[in-house]
Amino acid sequence: MSSPRPSRLLAVAAATVCVMALAACGSDETPSGTPSETATGEGQLGVSTPTPTDEATPTATATTPDGGGGGGGNNASPYPSNPADYGLEMLRAIAAGNDTRIVDLSDLNTAQYINTQNYKARNGQWTHANCESGFCYYYNQTGDIASVGINSSRVGQKSAVTSVNIEGGSFATDAVNYAQSLAYAWTFDGRYVVMRSLATQPVVNALSGKQKLNAGGGGVDAQSTSCPSGLSGTCVEVYAVGGSLSISYVFAVDPAKLGKPNAVTGVS
C-alpha cells in the first residue's frame, strides 16, 4: 500500500485534532430529530427466533441532525429514549459524517474507530431489526449488517453507545442465490437480523417452526421450481444435501426486490 499523500495526512491530523477538541470541550449543539443497520456479543437466533422489539422500522435516510441551542419553548431531549432509536441516531450521525454528534452519542475512542473502519462510506438507509443482550441490530439497503452496543442505563442521555460494528454484505440479484442465502443464514448463521434483511417478517416467523436443513448433518443447495398453491413470484426449492435426511422447502422470491432487502416473501 502506498504512503498517504502529505495533504491527506494533514487533513486527517486536522480532523483528529478537531474531534479531540470537541470531546474535551463539549459542544453547544443540541441536535434533535427522530432517528429514521458492532462489536461483540451479537445475538444468536439459535433454535428459537428472538422476538424483535418491534416491526422493522421503515428505512430512514440519514440526515445531519439539527443544530442550535433550542429555544422557543422546545425542551425536547436531543437523546432518544429507547435503545432502538438511539442506535439509529448513531448510524444517522455516521452516515452524515457528523463527528460532533458521534462523540456526543458515544465517546472519542468509538469515533476514532468509526473513522479507521471507513463506516461513513456505507449506505445510510438503515432499518432496525431487533435488540437483545445490550445490542441493537440493523440492516441497510445494500446488505450491510450493523450492531450497536447500547448502555441501557444511559438511554435518554449522552454517551449511551458503547460500540459500533458494521459488516459488509450484499443482496443477490438472482432468485436462486437469494433464496439460498436465506436458507444458509437460517440453517448455519442463525442471526435474526441477517434473516430479517433477506425476508419478510412472516417468512422469518414461519422458519422458526420448521426443521433446519442441516438436521441430518448436510449442507444447503437450491434450484428453480414451480410455485405451489399459495405462493407467487419466482419460486426456488432449497434443500439439504450430503446429510442423512431429505428436507426441502420452497421460497417465493419477489423479482422486483432482487438486489434489495426482504425479497423472500413466502415459504412452503
The model's pLDDT over 170-215, given as tens digits with 9 standing for 90+, comes to: 999 999 999 999 999 999 999 999 999 999 999 999 999 999 998 7
The pLDDT, as a whole number, for residue 258 is 98
Mean per-residue pLDDT of the chain: 80
**Mean pLDDT computed over 230-241:** 96
Confidence band for 241, pLDDT divided at 50, 70 and 90: very high
Share of the chain above pLDDT 70, in %: 72
State the cell numbers at 205. Answer: 416467523
- C-alpha–C-alpha distance, residues 149 and 171, integer Å: 25
Q: Is 136 exposed, middle or buried (0-12, 13-18, 19+ CB in 10 A)?
A: buried
Q: Maximum CA pair distance of the chain? A: 70
pLDDT digits (tens, 9 = 90+) for 213-224: 987 788 999 999
* C-beta of residue 250 within 8 angstroms of C-beta of residue 267: yes
Closest CA to 42 of 129, 134, 117: 134
**Mean pLDDT computed over 88-105:** 98
Range list of H helices, 4-129: 6-25, 83-96, 99-105, 108-116
Helix (H, G, I), strand (E, B) or coil at 181: helix
- C-alpha–C-alpha distance, residues 167 and 146, integer Å: 6
pLDDT at 61 > cutoff 60: no
pLDDT at 157 > cutoff 50: yes
State the cell numbers at 140. Answer: 441497510
Query: Buried b / exposed e across 36-46, counting CB within 10 Å, b at 16+?
Result: bbbbeebbebe
